[in-house]
Structure 1
């Protein structure tokens, strides 16, 4: 296996950025959920360094999420369900972003980055909602106050948060990847 020092350094830098952004992101709230600014370096890493790097960065994101106070509510209800949901959503968001980028960038790099930037929050949020349905639905029904439980999940847990994450990802990820690619050409 060939060791690429630039890739190791790049993934290492993005790993540190994932940790810092997730910790700082916990202070930026929309509704009841912290916004995940961390998805940007996950998409960038997946595009620049591949599916494995995307999965790694998503996994790091997941571990940090599990250590944060916001997760305690879910851990109290189901440790297994919380760990499974949180780990899957991060790892798959990163890996699938990298896969989408790899497939689409062969034809058009910009389309590959934009689609990867869309896939990341969609997978992250989709698996979170699926985990809520599978492991925490009784609690959600109790707290929905007679409202439709799915609507409660969307408005209470996701809502504006998802829209902001998606918009920020779609705008910033392609710009960052473009800047990195320009700097790579200048350094070569």
Structure 2
């Protein structure tokens, strides 16, 4: 694959990530929108490598910040929000690309499945860690206001992450065969 082809492919996936994130902002479970961009991040990371996956994750994070999807956290801690939103996207794309590359030589389907599972897990995991680092006081207040009797950490997992993560993970797993086919088409393997 030439540099021009790779750059063109990454550019197309970047545009797809931006458009899907903007469309996904209208689909909400709880306070947050569903991330429809994890599938193109996985496909892009598999086709073009872990660095491309990190770029696509960065594009995802930047779109989240610019679309206002993170506004509730931006009001609490601007720098913390920017760091968490960008880090979760970058690390999700990077992890998807690395695990895919590691497993591809053994079994392409296992590589796709692992990348499809790891991408939303890293995305949600970094969000959880970011909440713990930057927003615990605010989240504790939200939990009390909602009459939530568990710990603030449990509130994050059940209320802030819960359904989003389950939906994103299920979508990635169910669409893994489609992801595999897209990768084969992208590589012209039939």
Smaller-chain TM-score bracket: over 0.9
**Could you say if the C-alpha distance between residues 183 and 76 of structure 1 is closer, same or farther in structure 2, counting changes exceeding 3 Å?**
closer
Instruction: For residues 33-84 of structure 1, give each alpha carbon's deviation from its aligned partner in whole angstroms, at most 9, with x where no partner exists.
Output: 1000100100000011100110000000000011122311111111110011
Question: What RMSD in Å do the two structures reach over aligned CA positions?
Answer: 1.7
Number of matched pairs = 186
Alignment of 1:6-155 (within 5 A): 6-145=5-144, 147=149, 148-155=151-158
Contact kept, 8 Å, 2:61 with 2:85, in 1: the verdict is yes
Contact kept, 8 Å, 1:54 with 1:98, in 2: the verdict is yes
Q: Which residue of 1 aligns with 2:182?
A: 179
Contact kept, 8 Å, 1:46 with 1:95, in 2: the verdict is yes
Which deviates more, 100-109 or 61-70? 61-70
SS in 2 for 1:77: coil
Residue 164 (structure 2) aligned to one of 149, 153, 161: 161
TM-score by length of 2: 0.92
Instruction: For residues 123-155 of structure 1, give each alpha carbon's deviation from its aligned partner in whole angstroms, at most 9, with x where no partner exists.
Output: 000000100011000011111115221121122
TM-score by length of 1: 0.93
Give structure 2 stretches of 5+ with no counterpart. none
